[in-house]
Structure formats: structure tokens, C-alpha cells
């Protein structure tokens, strides 16, 4: 069996004496302090990146919640949207409770009626009155969905608004 020997490294000092190589405690402390100071910006970048990712995720979910509601409303007949018939459950301005009632009645719970921590409000506005063979009508209906939410940190955000114009398929071509 071989025996391994560890030899101490020696450095020659300026005066010719041999001195053991190594670092002192103060040198180690200075190196640790420099390392910490250099790593602090990286820590801040990671923290900012995580917060930005959470905010971007919330904005994406808010856009999806608004888009889903707009698509559900766009699938309703134009006359229901423009006349806001009380039997349909639609109102010109609807808050979260009204939206949940409308979705529950209209779609037989085929779609989720709640949006979690996201609160929606809808404004339905018929625009551009026109004359048709059926009488007075509107060329478009503007649907504006506003979404509010509470971030995971507890701060309130919103409104983020998404809107769509729904054209009257029964109206003749409109010339400007």
C-alpha cells in the first residue's frame, strides 16, 4: 500500500524566507463581501423577473376572461344584444353578479360562471342608428368588458378593458 504525503506549499517572501501559502481570515472576509456585493444585482434581477412573470400571467388571464365573455355575447343574436330584452337577462351595464346570473341561465352551466379572483363588468351599447325595412335599428353593438382583480400580493389591479363591435347582419351595407 502506498502512502500519500501532503506537502505544504511554501512561498518565498521578498527577504528570502519561506512562508506557508494560504489566506488570512481578513482576506477571506473581504472576498466574501465582494462576492456578496457582486451577487446582489443578480438577486434583484431574479426577484424582478418573478414579479414580472406573475403580473404578466395575471394580465393574460384577465384578457382571456374578457375575451371569453365577449365571444359568448357575440354568439347571441344581434336583436337580443341591441334591444336588451329583459327576458334575455342582458342589461346595458352588468356587474359580476349579473354576469353570473346571465351565464347560468343562458348557457345551462356549460361555461364556468365565475372567473375566480377576476371580477368582470360589461357595458353593451348599441351605436350608429340606421333605418331598415324593419324600422329603426342599429348598425353595431359595442361590447366593453372591464376586468378587475387582486394580485397575489394583495394589491387591486384594473380595470383592463377589452371591446368588440358586433355588426348587424340584418342591416344593408352602410355607405359613409
Q: To the nearest whole number, what is the mean pLDDT of the chain?
A: 82
What's the pTM value of the predicted model, to 2 decimals? 0.69
pLDDT digits (tens, 9 = 90+) for 17-66: 666 566 788 988 999 999 999 999 999 999 999 989 988 999 999 999 99
- Are residues 26 and 108 in contact, defined by beta-carbon separation less than 8 angstroms? no
Q: Which residues, 6+ apart, have CB-to-CB distance to 122 below 8 Å?
A: 69, 73, 93, 94, 98, 99, 143, 144, 145, 146
pLDDT at 155: 86
Tell me which residue of 130, 122, 143 sits closest to 169, measured CA to CA.
Answer: 130
Mean pLDDT, residues 81-88 taken together: 79
Q: Which position has the higher pLDDT, 147 or 89?
A: 147
Interior CA angle at 43 toward 37 and 47, to 5°? Answer: 150
Pick the range with the lowest mean pLDDT from 1-5, 57-61, 152-156: 1-5
Mean pLDDT, residues 155-173 taken together: 85
Cell numbers found for residue 88? 334575455
Amino acid at each position: 500500500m502506498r502512502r500519500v504525503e501532503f506537502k505544504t506549499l511554501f512561498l518565498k517572501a521578498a527577504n528570502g524566507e519561506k512562508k506557508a501559502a494560504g489566506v488570512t481570515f481578513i482576506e477571506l472576509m473581504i472576498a466574501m463581501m465582494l462576492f456578496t456585493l457582486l451577487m446582489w444585482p443578480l438577486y434583484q434581477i431574479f426577484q424582478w423577473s418573478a414579479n414580472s412573470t406573475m403580473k404578466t400571467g395575471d394580465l393574460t388571464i384577465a384578457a382571456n376572461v374578457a375575451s371569453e365573455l365577449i365571444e359568448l355575447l357575440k354568439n347571441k343574436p344581434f336583436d337580443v344584444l341591441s334591444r336588451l330584452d329583459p327576458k334575455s337577462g342582458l342589461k346595458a351595464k352588468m356587474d359580476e353578479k349579473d354576469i353570473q346570473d346571465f351565464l347560468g341561465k343562458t348557457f345551462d352551466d356549460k361555461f364556468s360562471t365565475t372567473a375566480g379572483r377576476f371580477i368582470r363588468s360589461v357595458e353593451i351599447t348599441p351605436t350608429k342608428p340606421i333605418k331598415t325595412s324593419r324600422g329603426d335599428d342599429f348598425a353595431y353593438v359595442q361590447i366593453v368588458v372591464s376586468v378587475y382583480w387582486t394580485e397575489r400580493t394583495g394589491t387591486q389591479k384594473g380595470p383592463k378593458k377589452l371591446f368588440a363591435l358586433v355588426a348587424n347582419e340584418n342591416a344593408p351595407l352602410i355607405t359613409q
